[in-house]
C-alpha cells in the first residue's frame, strides 16, 4: 500500500500557506504561486387550419420517422390508440381565403395564434426529426469541410421541399482549419506509477475496457475531489474524475496497465483548439488561475520552457451560465498570445464547462502574431483538477502532447436562406436564424443545429397555420460563426449592397433547451411586453432589455435601426455539451426543442404585427 500520510502532510503545509497568502476566499481558488520552499511548483487552484385533422399514426407528420425512434421505442403500443381524432380549432377572426394581417389587433387574436403555433409545434412538429437527419446523416459541420458542404446541399433541398416563396444560397469564402489525426496527451508521473503498482484488471466494463482494481488509486481520486470540492460533505460524489476514468475506461488488458506502470506514463484526453498550430511538446507544467498570476510568474522567468495549464474555472454562482462562460473564455481565445512572450512551449486550457467530467471542449483561439504561435489545446475539467493536484504531490510530473493541426486555403461555402414574402411591407425583412457550421467534435446538435431547426420550423409553422405576414420573413442558416463569422459578415454586406431594410433580426444560438424568454432591443421592448400575460401562459417569463448575437450583430452595425432579439432558453446544461463530443442528437430533448421553435414563431408574429 502507498503511504498517503506524506501527501496529507504536504497538503496541510500548503493549505496554511495558501490561507496566509490568499485569505479565506481562496478555499478552492488557492491560486498559483511558487512552491519553491517545498522544492516544487505549486498550483492548487484553481404546429392545417380550418379543417379537422385526423392523426392516424404517432409520427405521420414527421418528415423522417426514423429519427423519432428514440421516443417510438419507449412508448407502449397502446399509447397510439389514445390519440384518436384531434380537431384543430381556428381563430375566430381567421378567414383562410383572405390575407389576415389586418385582423390581429387584439390580445385575444394574438393569444389564439400562440395556441395554434404551439399546437403545430407539439403535435406535428418537424424540428426534432429534421435535427436528427442533420446530425445523424451529416454530423459535425466544421467550416470548409466536404461534410459541411454535403449538409448544406441537404439543407437547401430540405427547405425547397416546403415550397416557401424562395430558397437560395449566398456564396461566402470561409477559412479552413483541420485538427488532423491522432492528437494525444500523456501524463508522466512516477508517483502515479507507485500508486498503481498493486493494481490489476479484474473484469470488463461495457466498453470492453478492463475495470482496474486499485484501492490506492481510489484514495487518490478522493483526495483530488476533496481538494477541488472543499465545501462538499461527500466530495467523492461530486465528480467521476480522471483517476476513475483511468480505472474504468482506459486499460484493455493487464499488459496495457503494466506498461503504463512500468513507464510511469498514463493517458489523458485532449482537444486541439480551433486555429491552433501543430506541435509535439513535452515538459513540466505550471497551473495558472488568473492573468495576473501568469504575468507575475512570467516576469520572474518561471514559465520559460514550461507547459502552462490555464485553469481558471467557471464562476458557478452566476444563474445564467453564459455569464460564467463570458467571464473566463478569454483564457481559451487569447491563452496562447498571453503565454508565448514568456517562453512557454505550449498551453493546455481547462475546458469551458460547468460539468466536472472527462470531456474536452474545443473552441476558437487566435494568434495576434502568427510567428509566435504556440500549440494550444483544451483538457477536460476533471483532468485539469487532477493535474493541478498531482503537480503538488509529484515533483517529477510532466506531460507530453501532440497536435497535428493544419490550416488550409479558404474555400467557397454558403449561407442558406428561405423566405415567405410580406403582404404589406415586402421590402422590410424580419430575419431569424442560427449558424449552420459547428465544431468537429460531436454533431453540433445544440450548437447550433438546434438554432437552425428553430428558425426553419418557425417559418414552416407560420406558413402551415396560414399566417400571412406583413413583413418578409427570412430564415437564415449562417455559415462559419465558430471560427470566422464570415457568413454573417457577408450577409450584412450583401444586405447593404441590395438596400434591404432589416426591421428585426432574431438569433437562436444558445441550444435547444426549454425556452425561457427573449432579450429585445429597447425600441421594441415595450411592444413585446403588451402581451406579457400571453407569454406567461407559455412560461416565457424571462425578459431582458437588449438583444444581440454574433450572427446578427453585423446587421446592427450597418443599420442602427434594426431591432435585435436574442432567444433565451434555459442555460443550465448548455456548457455540459458545448463544443464537446457530447453535443449530439441524443442529448437534445424533443419537447424542449419544439417549444423553442414555437416560442421563436410567436416572437416573429408579434414583431411582424407590432412593427411598421
> Which residues in this chain contact Zn ion in the complex, by CB under 5 A?
447-448, 509
Q: Smallest distance, Å, CB 444 to Zn ion?
A: 8
Dist CA 321 CA 302 (whole Å): 34
Strands 425-435 and 471-478: parallel
Dist CA 519 CA 564 (whole Å): 8
Q: Smallest distance, Å, CB 172 to Zn ion?
A: 17
Conformational region of residue 268, where left means phi above 0, alpha means psi within -120 to 50, and beta covers everything else: beta
* Residue with smaller CB distance to Zn ion, 425 or 575: 575
Q: Smallest distance, Å, CB 362 to Zn ion?
A: 12
* Residue with smaller CB distance to Zn ion, 399 or 485: 485
Backbone angles phi, psi at 589, to 5 degrees: -85, 130
* Residue with smaller CB distance to Zn ion, 447 or 500: 447
Closest CA to 468 of 435, 506, 426: 426
* Residue with smaller CB distance to Zn ion, 115 or 509: 509
Q: Smallest distance, Å, CB 453 to Zn ion?
A: 13
Closest CA to 492 of 550, 450, 567, 425: 550
Retrieve residue 30's grid coordinates. Answer: 488557492
* Residue with smaller CB distance to Zn ion, 445 or 524: 445
* Residue with smaller CB distance to Zn ion, 391 or 438: 438
> Cβ distance 441 to 490 under 8 Å?
no
> Cβ distance 475 to 419 under 8 Å?
yes
Measured CA distances, 170 to 40, 173, 553 (Å): 57, 10, 18
Q: Smallest distance, Å, CB 431 to Zn ion?
A: 17
* Residue with smaller CB distance to Zn ion, 456 or 535: 456
Q: Smallest distance, Å, CB 133 to Zn ion?
A: 20
> Cβ distance 153 to 413 under 8 Å?
no
Q: Smallest distance, Å, CB 439 to Zn ion?
A: 9
> Cβ distance 436 to 482 under 8 Å?
no
Q: Smallest distance, Å, CB 349 to Zn ion?
A: 18
* Residue with smaller CB distance to Zn ion, 335 or 511: 511
* Residue with smaller CB distance to Zn ion, 385 or 448: 448
Measured CA distances, 175 to 409, 411, 437 (Å): 7, 7, 12
* Residue with smaller CB distance to Zn ion, 424 or 550: 550
What is the DSSP secondary-structure string of 313-338?
PP-TT-SSHHHHHHHHTHHHHSHHHH
* Residue with smaller CB distance to Zn ion, 47 or 449: 449
* Residue with smaller CB distance to Zn ion, 478 or 531: 478
* Residue with smaller CB distance to Zn ion, 124 or 510: 510
Instruction: Tell me the helices (H) and strands (E) count for the chain, helix number first.
Output: 22, 23
Closest CA to 476 of 493, 496, 459: 459
Residue length, the chain?
A: 612
Quick one: the chain helix, strand, coil %, rounded to 5? Answer: 40, 20, 40
Read off the DSSP letter of residue 236.
G
Neighbouring residues of 10: CB distance < 8 A, sequence distance ≥ 6 = 38, 392, 393
Retrieve residue 347's grid coordinates. Answer: 498551453
Q: Smallest distance, Å, CB 438 to Zn ion?
A: 8
Q: Smallest distance, Å, CB 191 to Zn ion?
A: 40
Dist CA 484 CA 551 (whole Å): 11
> Cβ distance 470 to 464 under 8 Å?
no
Conformational region of residue 386, where left means phi above 0, alpha means psi within -120 to 50, and beta covers everything else: alpha
Q: Smallest distance, Å, CB 486 to Zn ion?
A: 15
> Which residue matches cell numbers 389576415?
100
Q: Smallest distance, Å, CB 508 to Zn ion?
A: 9
Q: Smallest distance, Å, CB 329 to Zn ion?
A: 13
The β-bridge partners of 376 are 347
The β-bridge partners of 544 are 519
Amino acid at each position: 500500500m502507498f503511504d498517503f500520510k506524506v501527501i496529507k502532510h504536504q497538503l496541510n503545509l500548503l493549505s496554511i500557506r495558501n490561507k496566509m497568502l490568499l485569505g479565506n476566499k481562496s478555499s478552492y481558488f488557492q491560486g498559483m504561486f511558487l512552491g519553491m520552499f517545498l522544492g516544487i511548483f505549486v498550483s492548487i487552484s484553481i404546429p392545417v387550419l380550418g379543417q379537422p385533422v385526423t392523426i392516424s399514426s404517432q409520427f405521420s407528420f414527421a418528415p423522417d420517422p426514423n429519427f423519432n425512434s428514440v421516443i417510438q421505442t419507449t412508448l407502449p403500443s397502446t399509447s397510439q390508440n389514445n390519440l384518436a381524432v384531434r380537431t384543430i380549432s381556428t381563430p375566430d377572426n381567421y378567414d383562410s381565403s383572405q390575407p389576415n394581417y389586418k385582423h390581429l389587433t387584439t390580445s385575444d387574436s394574438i393569444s389564439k395564434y400562440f395556441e395554434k403555433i404551439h399546437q403545430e409545434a407539439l403535435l406535428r412538429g418537424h424540428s426534432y426529426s429534421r435535427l436528427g437527419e442533420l446530425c445523424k446523416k451529416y454530423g459535425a459541420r466544421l467550416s470548409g469541410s466536404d461534410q459541411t458542404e454535403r449538409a448544406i446541399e441537404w439543407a437547401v433541398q430540405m427547405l425547397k421541399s416546403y415550397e416557401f416563396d424562395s430558397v437560395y444560397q449566398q456564396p461566402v469564402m470561409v477559412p479552413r482549419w483541420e485538427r488532423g489525426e491522432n492528437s494525444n496527451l500523456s501524463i508522466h508521473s512516477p508517483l502515479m506509477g507507485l500508486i498503481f503498482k498493486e493494481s490489476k484488471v479484474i473484469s470488463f466494463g461495457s466498453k470492453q475496457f478492463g475495470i482496474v482494481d486499485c484501492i490506492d488509486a481510489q484514495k487518490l481520486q478522493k483526495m483530488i475531489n476533496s481538494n477541488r470540492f472543499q465545501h462538499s460533505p461527500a466530495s467523492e460524489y461530486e465528480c467521476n474524475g480522471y483517476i476513475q476514468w483511468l480505472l474504468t475506461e482506459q486499460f484493455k488488458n493487464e499488459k496495457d496497465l503494466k506498461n503504463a506502470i512500468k513507464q510511469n506514463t498514463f493517458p489523458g484526453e485532449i482537444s486541439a483548439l480551433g486555429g491552433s498550430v501543430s506541435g509535439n511538446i513535452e515538459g513540466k507544467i505550471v497551473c495558472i488561475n488568473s492573468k495576473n498570476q501568469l504575468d507575475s510568474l512570467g516576469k520572474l522567468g518561471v514559465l520559460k520552457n514550461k507547459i502552462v495549464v490555464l485553469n481558471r474555472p467557471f464562476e458557478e454562482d452566476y444563474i445564467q451560465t453564459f455569464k460564467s462562460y463570458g467571464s473566463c473564455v478569454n483564457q481559451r481565445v487569447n491563452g496562447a498570445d498571453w503565454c508565448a512572450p514568456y517562453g512557454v512551449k505550449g498551453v493546455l486550457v481547462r475546458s469551458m464547462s460547468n460539468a466536472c467530467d472527462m470531456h474536452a471542449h474545443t473552441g476558437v483561439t487566435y494568434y495576434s502574431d502568427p510567428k509566435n504561435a504556440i500549440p494550444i489545446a483544451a483538457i477536460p475539467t476533471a483532468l485539469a483538477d487532477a493535474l493541478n493536484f498531482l503537480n503538488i504531490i509529484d515533483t517529477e510530473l510532466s506531460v507530453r502532447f501532440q497536435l497535428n493541426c493544419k490550416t488550409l486555403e479558404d474555400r467557397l461555402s454558403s449561407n442558406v436562406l428561405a423566405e415567405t414574402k410580406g403582404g404589406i411591407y415586402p421590402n422590410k425583412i424580419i430575419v431569424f436564424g442560427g449558424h449552420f457550421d459547428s465544431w468537429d467534435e460531436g454533431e453540433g446538435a445544440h450548437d447550433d443545429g438546434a438554432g437552425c431547426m428553430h428558425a426553419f420550423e418557425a417559418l414552416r409553422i407560420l406558413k402551415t397555420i396560414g399566417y400571412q405576414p406583413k413583413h418578409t420573413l427570412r430564415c437564415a442558416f449562417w455559415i462559419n460563426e465558430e471560427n470566422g463569422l464570415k457568413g454573417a459578415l457577408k450577409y450584412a454586406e450583401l444586405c447593404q449592397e441590395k438596400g434591404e431594410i432589416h426591421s428585426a433580426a432574431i438569433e437562436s444560438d444558445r441550444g435547444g433547451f426549454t425556452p425561457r424568454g427573449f432579450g429585445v432591443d429597447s425600441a421594441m421592448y415595450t411592444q413585446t411586453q403588451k402581451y406579457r400575460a400571453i407569454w406567461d401562459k407559455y412560461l416565457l417569463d424571462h425578459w431582458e432589455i437588449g438583444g444581440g448575437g454574433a450572427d446578427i450583430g453585423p446587421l446592427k452595425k450597418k443599420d442602427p435601426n434594426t431591432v435585435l432579439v436574442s432567444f433565451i432558453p434555459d442555460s443550465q446544461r448548455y456548457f455540459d455539451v458545448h463544443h464537446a463530443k457530447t453535443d449530439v442528437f441524443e442529448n437534445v430533448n424533443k419537447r424542449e426543442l419544439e417549444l423553442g421553435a414555437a416560442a421563436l414563431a410567436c416572437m416573429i408574429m408579434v414583431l411582424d404585427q407590432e412593427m411598421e
